[in-house]
Amino acid sequence: MEGTAKAAPAAGKSGMNKKVLAIVVVAILIVAAVGAVLLLGGGKAQYDPDVFRYGTIGGNHESLDPAVDYETVGGEILQNVYETLVFYNGASSSDLKPMLAAEMPWISEDGLTYNFTLRQGVMFSDNKTEMTAEDVKYSFDRGLLLNDPHGPFWMYGAYLIPDYYDYGMASFDSAGNMVMTEESITQEMCDAAIWAKGKYEVQFNLTTPYAPFLSALAFNAGSIVSKAYVEEHGGLTKAGYDHMASNTFGTGPYVLEEYKVDSYYKLVANEAYWRGVANIKTVMIEMIPDTNSRIMALKNGELDAAYVPRDQIGSVENVEGLMINKGNPTFNIDFLGLNLKINKTGLDPSLTNVPSDFFDDRNVRLAFMHAFNYGLYINETMQGMAIQPNGAIPKGMFGYSDDVPKYNYDLAKAKEYLETAETNWVEQGFKLEVFFNNGNTARETACMQIKAGLEALAPGKITVTVTGLEWSKYLDYRKDGQMPAMFLGWAPDFADPDNYLQPFYHSAGTYASMIGYSNATLDAAIEAAAVELDPEVRAQMYEDLMYDMYEEALFAWTAQATNFFVGQDYIQGYYFNPMFSNLYYYDLDKPDTLDEE
Amino acid sequence: MRLSRYIIRRLLLVIPVLLGVSIFIFTLTRLTGDPVAAYVNEKMTFAQIEQVREQYHLNDPLPQQYLYWLQGIIQGDWGWSKTAAMPVLDAIQYYFPATFELAVISILIAVIVGIALGTRSAIHKNKPFDHATRVVSLIGVSIPVFWLGLLLLQFFYFELNLFPVKGRVSDSFIIARTLPAGPTGFYTIDSLLAGNFALFGDVLWHLALPAITLSFGSIAVILRMQRNSMLEVLSLDYIKTARAKGLDESTVINKHARRNALIPTTTVVGLSFGALLGGAVLTESIFSWPGLGRWSAASITRMDSASILGFCLIVAFIYVMVNLIVDILYAYLDPRVRLG
């Protein structure tokens, strides 16, 4: 009894101590949290005219090296930190203006020589290093020598290096030095292609005339890096390559001061910027992956602007203090591709029983063109924020013509075409698999619509199966030509119609080869248009090509998305340019104070 | 001595476990799709894709690919995370502190609330309090975490402006450049080490809503386990003896019953904590929390096999460690348990 009597108070004391400790810990946490709330004035951020906060969906850059990065997250940073020789003029994607070049280049009559005079006195962001012709040459040499196949440098290499596609990516030895092999692009090749003729003069020598070359130079890949900076951090070694993947040093209006993956990018105004310091002093690009949280933060005034998916328009429309900018055509187009040479190996015959040359019959293709409900897709799935394209060249781009007709949704016509095909498919019926890339619900809906349209032509006889493919599987199917029909999309690398016609209609193009299309006449016409330097003649050539493409009916062009920007109504200077990677912050501004009503 | 030998033996067992996990996951990542997908884009030519395949040894036989990878792991080169745009080891080092901080606070809330409610519920068996807690635990396990998170945000952020909507820290600290650069990556610890108490408070403030959201599921499980365990213990003879001896009820409950009832609960707490350390995809997404869960989910979506493998290895390691700690705690809580 005694022992128990003694033990009990001791145990009680120990239990008491634990309780007290727990209470103290919890109390500290609560007091600290409440203190912070009081200190910071609640969850809402204070209005700051010098800070612009943009809420984005998330996802990190792949690289911050202009010679390597080929996606829009990194693209937005590069676009604000680096500069190119020429750049888009405001909202226009086809009208280019000199940026680091003092004026538009002199171009030789044969279209092979581009001579740039550079702007003088442009400093990199350390305000000590002047940008010169050496930097321009170094930037392009470096990209060509690295020749990263993941990257965008093909758009220069293909026209600056003879037989460019015969060369592979640079490799590094165990010490991190670049290894030159017979398969590498050499410095000699670069020296033949790009000349630094003086401190402020650079010449590009093309291997073949290429009219879109200037547009390609406006892309982020054409950003000018500092030779001194890159060399200081490893130059053309693995160390230099790695350093440039996560560090920036440009002449642009902003400096990337800090970033934390999956959290934020912090840009601060470049105090040495040659066009004057930006109005917005700090840009916070904040990654908020959840749409609801992002919209809440926008409505609460914590964000100045945010990415809002089109199907969420109802959440931000007619909200006091928010403005919506929409209706301007982007250059993103969606399409249904029809495979002229279906590789049936591996396809389930119970889902696809059509012959390999099913789509070789133009009447079948025309039936598909008329079986898609374009209006329904644009109005319902795209929330009205798209237009129906009349071909591969999107509205707003050089070479586009409004006169070219479009196919309309007409099931009677579709049926007629299927009946008059070499085989009467309405009578015989068929089974077909239509593919889309998994995760893209809009494209999945489009597949369901073509399914509905086709199956309505011969109920019970025509069966369409919609199949989603993972990216890795899609690559295999694409390579093997296994998709009978596929719903996909395309966004341009540079603002030129060649960037649409080449992939879709040239026999060497990505999508033309995927659908087994080859037309020597059209190949020649596309190549001729690409080298034509007279804009008027060139525009006419593209209009003619658009009519040809209409007649060929290889792709059903289902939607060209229009822009959808949501931000606070006090934002000044916003405009939409379809070639921008999201926002170009230099032109934006905010009022010093907000009118409180 | 016995304990230390036991720990060493268990630590050595980690190696075959991790090897097994790595072989399983490596095979799985190779079977579920073409690993080259993570490294290519739609605009690359087939020849360029082939170059990439060569570059990453993806044309080699599977066992050889595995050995390349294993060799890298041993040498400290865990590969490049395309998702995080940094080496996999750096990515783990970056994401882990955020997840760990969140998991610790969550499990702390869950343990305090779960054990307290579970104990009380057992004492008041079939009384209104017991019924109420059972409803709470039922809600806890069945409520979708994304819905709870959004509900908390709607109320405490959007309506009341009391808590923040995103991230680990307020923008003001980032803009003012007062975030400590380290040394641990745990903002709570780093802010205290830097003597920045405002930042410390801000970090806790940011932790509150995601931690509460995340703790809800664990509270429910711990509560149920503690209640059942307590009921079992309370019906045992030694409790009756303790009462018969005239001990006051609080001593019977706190000293005699609860401690023994904690043994099975400890297992549940350990497993819950292990699960929390693996990251919580939905909570981390809703609260823009840069943790392991978001990273792993994004890596899986883009077939980033280096990241997936790194993540699985680290989670397997965490689970083994947590289990080891739970087993050691067993011995502390119940001296009858012998480590062998």
What does the alpha-carbon distance between residue B301 and residue B297 come to, in Å, rounded to a whole number?
6
A532 sits in the region (left: phi over 0; alpha: psi -120 to 50; else beta) called beta
Contact call for residues A74 and A323 (beta carbons, < 8 A): no
Supply the DSSP symbol for A47. P
Q: Tell me if residue A144 falls in helix, strand or coil.
A: helix
Q: What is the average per-residue pLDDT within A38-45?
A: 51
Establish if B8 belongs to a structural domain.
no
Domain assignment present for B191: yes
Interchain CB distance below 8 Å, B154 and A296: yes
- Min distance A390 CA to chain B CA atoms (Å): 23
Cβ of A150 within 8 Å of Cβ of B41? The answer is: yes
What's the pLDDT band for A28 if we cut at 50, 70, 90? low
pLDDT band with cut points at 50, 70 and 90 for residue A7 = very low
More confident of the two residues A177 and A562: A562
Counting residues of chain A whose pLDDT is more than 90, the rounded percentage is 70
pTM: 0.86
For A150, which of B39, B167, B303 is closest by C-beta distance? Answer: B39
Neighbours of B89 (CB within 10 A): 16
- Cβ distance of B247 and A8 shorter than 8 Å: yes
pLDDT > 80? residue A419: yes
List A residues 61-90 in contact with B (Cβ-Cβ < 8 A).
61-63, 70-71
The answer to whether the CB of B289 falls within 8 A of the CB of B98 is yes
What single DSSP character describes residue A524?
Answer: H
Q: Inform me whether the C-beta atom of residue A439 falls under 8 Å from chain B C-beta atoms.
A: yes
**Contact state of A297 with B165 under an 8 Å Cβ cutoff:** yes
Query: Which pLDDT band, with edges at 50, 70 and 90, does A11 fall under?
Result: very low
Q: Do A29 and B202 touch (CB under 8 A)?
A: no
pLDDT average, residue stretch B113-142: 87
Instruction: Return the percent helix, strand and coil in chain A, to nearest 5.
Output: 40, 20, 40
Q: Of A339-343, A418-422, A435-439, which gets the smallest average pLDDT?
A: A435-439
Q: Which of residues 129-188 of A touch B (CB under 8 A)?
A: 149-150, 165, 168-169, 171
pLDDT tier at A5 (50, 70, 90 boundaries)?
very low
pLDDT band at A36 (very low <50, low <70, confident <90, very high): low
Do the chains contact at B37 and A471, CB–CB below 8 Å?
A: yes
Is B58 inside a domain boundary?
Answer: no
Please report, rounded to a whole number, the percentage of residues in chain A having pLDDT higher than 70: 92
Q: Which long-range contacts (CB under 8 A, 24 or more apart) does B194-198 make?
A: B197/A32, B198/A36, B198/A39
CA of B228 vs chain A CAs: smallest distance (Å) = 22
Residue A504 to residue A510: CA distance in whole angstroms: 7
Query: Which of A 358-377 lie inside 8 A of B, CB atoms?
Result: none
Alpha-carbon distance A32 to nearest alpha carbon in chain B (angstroms): 5
Q: Give the span between the Cα atoms of A300 and A305, in whole angstroms.
A: 11
| Longest CA pairwise span in chain B (Å) | 85
Please check whether residue A347 is in contact with residue A482, taking contact to mean a CB–CB distance below 8 angstroms: yes
- C-alpha to C-alpha distances, A589 to A275, A282, A573, A584, B23, nearest whole angstrom: 15, 11, 6, 11, 54
Give me the mean pLDDT over the A311-327 stretch: 91
B289 phi, psi to nearest 5 deg: -95, 120
Q: Minimal Cα–Cα distance from A201 to chain B, Å?
A: 33
Q: What is the pLDDT of residue B280?
A: 82
From the list B91, B146, B255, which residue is nearest A11 (CB)? Answer: B255
Residues of B within 8 A of A289 (CB-CB) are 285, 288, 294
The per-residue pLDDT for A76 is: 94
Assess if residue B216 is contained within a domain.
yes
A290: chain B residues, CB-CB within 8 Å: 146, 150, 285-286, 288
Least CA distance to A63: which residue of chain B? B85
Residue of A44, A246, A261 lying closest to B161 (CB–CB): A44
The CATH number of the domain where B113 resides is what? 1.10.3720.10
Residue type for position A186: T
Report yes or no on B293 lying in a domain. Answer: yes
Task: Give domain status of residue B128, yes or no.
Answer: yes
Query: When comparing pLDDT for A24 and A403, which is higher?
Result: A403
Could A36 and B295 be called an inter-chain contact, meaning their C-beta atoms sit closer than 8 Å? no
Instruction: Report which of A352, A335, A334 is spatially closest to residue A343, judged by C-alpha positions.
Output: A352
- B41 to chain A: which residues are within 8 Å by CB? 70-71, 150
Strands A254-260 and A264-269 come out as antiparallel
- Please name the residue of chain A whose CA is at the shortest distance from the CA of residue B147: A292
Number of domains in chain B: 1
Determine if residue A405 is left, alpha or beta; phi over 0 gives left, psi from -120 to 50 gives alpha, anything else beta.
beta
Please report the pLDDT score of residue B69 as a whole number. Answer: 87
Whether the pLDDT of residue A47 is over 70: the answer is: yes
Q: Are A473 and B34 inside 8 Å of each other by CB?
A: yes
Q: Which two tokens stand for residue B138?
A: 């039922």
CB contact under 8 A, B288 and A29: no
- Residue to mutate among B30, B32, B42, with most A CBs inside 10 A, is B42
- Cα–Cα separations (whole angstroms), residue B89 to A140, A172, B85, B288, B300: 32, 22, 12, 22, 17
Q: In this predicted model, what pLDDT tens digit does every residue of B147-198 receive, in sequence order?
A: 899 999 998 988 888 889 888 998 888 888 777 777 888 888 998 888 888 8
pLDDT in tens, A69-98: 888 889 999 999 999 999 999 998 889 999
Tell me which of A24, A65, A472 to substitute to probe the interface with B (most B C-beta atoms closer than 10 Å).
A472
> Which H or E run includes A563?
strand A555-568
Query: Which H or E run includes A172?
Result: strand A171-172
pLDDT on residue A212: 92
Percent of chain B with pLDDT over 70: 96
Q: What CA–CA distance (Å, rounded) separates B217 from B212? A: 10
**Nearest residue, CB atoms, A290 vs list B91, B201, B285:** B285
**Does residue B55 sit within a domain?**
no
pLDDT category at A472 given cuts 50, 70, 90 is: low
pLDDT above 60 for A3: no
Distance separating alpha carbons of residues A100 and A93, to the nearest angstrom: 17
Between B81 and A174, name the one with better pLDDT.
B81
**Residue whose C-alpha is closest to residue B174's, from A287, A124, A250:** A287
Cα–Cα–Cα angle for A216, A219, A222, rounded to 5 degrees: 85
Q: For residue A543, name the pLDDT band (cuts at 50, 70, 90).
A: very high
pLDDT reading at A10 higher than 50: no
CA dihedral sign of residues B35, B41, B43, B47: negative
For residue B11, the model assigns a pLDDT of 82
Residues of A in contact with B36 (CB under 8 A): 472, 475
ipTM for this prediction: 0.85
pLDDT tens, A197-219? 999 999 999 999 999 999 999 99
| Closest Cα in chain B to A268 | B175
- Here the tokens at position A590 are 């905010």
Of B175, B247, B290, Cβ closest to residue A262: B290
**A351 contacts chain B (CB < 8 A):** no
Name the more confident of A61 and B340: A61
Six token digits for residue A476 = 């295999």
For residue A145, what pLDDT is reported?
93
**B17 lies in a domain?**
no
Domain boundaries, position B320: 86-339
In degrees to the nearest 10, what's the CA dihedral of B38, B43, B46, B50?
-40
**Cα-Cα-Cα-Cα dihedral of B194, B197, B200, B204, to 10°?**
170
Query: Which of A60, A263, A472 is facing B303, going by the closest CB pair?
Result: A472
pLDDT at A2 over 50: no
- pLDDT computed for residue A24 by the predictor: 59
Mean pLDDT of all residues belonging to chain A:
89
pLDDT class of A173 with cuts at 50, 70, 90: confident
A468 part of contact set with chain B, CB < 8 Å: no
Q: Best residue in B32, B39, B46, B48 to probe A by mutation, most A CBs within 10 Å?
A: B48
pLDDT (0 to 100) of residue A521? 93
